[in-house]
Structure 1
């Protein structure tokens, strides 16, 4: 009987494992729990370009970096936005305020714009940073502009996806229509995480 080399056995095992993983199902827009990352899932690294906000983080607009890496295992709120509007500005300002209030907990935030029109994202993000006036939350554009970081499984039809994490794991996540963000629920979840 012919034996396969160990490297081929590993390749077959890896392929079988990958095929056994569940595939993300598109999220119904307006729902409050994301079909992407779930509680306890690890959060991965991803690179972004800073556009504005976070005037106190020693990162200049135009810098390309991994904020997720900088934040380490600190508690954090990562917002992925395809659309901006009054509710997303309200979310950003409330998150900015929460970060200021919870400085001792090292709470961090990140507002990441994603979408198909990469050329327009910089304009949208710049306007958003100016209108929100955030000083603790960086406003950035994802390197993977169309759908954000692949490991985060952001639904293609989701306007706003929010991942609340601590110790490099998801505490909870939400998906909202841009005009239906439940800011009170999100900030409430942040408070629960910090208890």
Structure 2
């Protein structure tokens, strides 16, 4: 992202109020381990996420690439499925937003 100033990202951890403290702890640990300093890490107290995004129940990671509230690409990964090759595929989808 440092190479692309027009690009922004944020992380939303879907949780319920009963698990909020654990979710905050997990986000802090993720930030520390990953050296994340400039990407907002947030919580949404709804384990289903926004209805319009249709987050799969069995998804561990859902990546939405959008521009002006229009989802241009969506990648869904179950528990333990996200690989380096998948990350490369997600990054390739950025052209749908950046117009490259």
Task: Give yes or no for TM over 0.5.
Answer: yes
Q: Deviations over 1:53-99 (max 9, x none)?
A: xxxxxxxxxxxxxxxxxxxxxxxxxxxxxxxxxxxxxxxxxxxxxx2
The answer for unaligned runs of 5 or more in structure 1 is 1-98
Residue 141 of structure 1 corresponds to: 43
**Residues of 2 paired with 1:100 and 1:176: CA distance?**
25
RMSD over aligned CA atoms reads 1.7
Q: TM-score, normalised by structure 2?
A: 0.81
**Corresponding residue for 1:184?**
88
Structure 1 ranges of 4+ moved more than 6 A: none
Count residues with an aligned counterpart. 94
Q: What TM-score results when the alignment is normalised by the length of structure 1?
A: 0.44
Q: Is the 8 A contact 2:66 2:73 kept in 1?
A: yes
Relative contact order: is structure 1 or structure 2 higher (C-alpha 8 Å, sep ≥ 6)?
1
Cα distance, 1:136 vs structure 2: 2.7
Shift of 1:179: 2.4
Structure 1 position 165 matched with structure 2 position 66: yes
Residue 148 of structure 1 deviates from its aligned partner by 1.9
CA deviations 1:77-135 (Å, max 9, x no partner) are xxxxxxxxxxxxxxxxxxxxxx21110xx211011111353331111111011111123
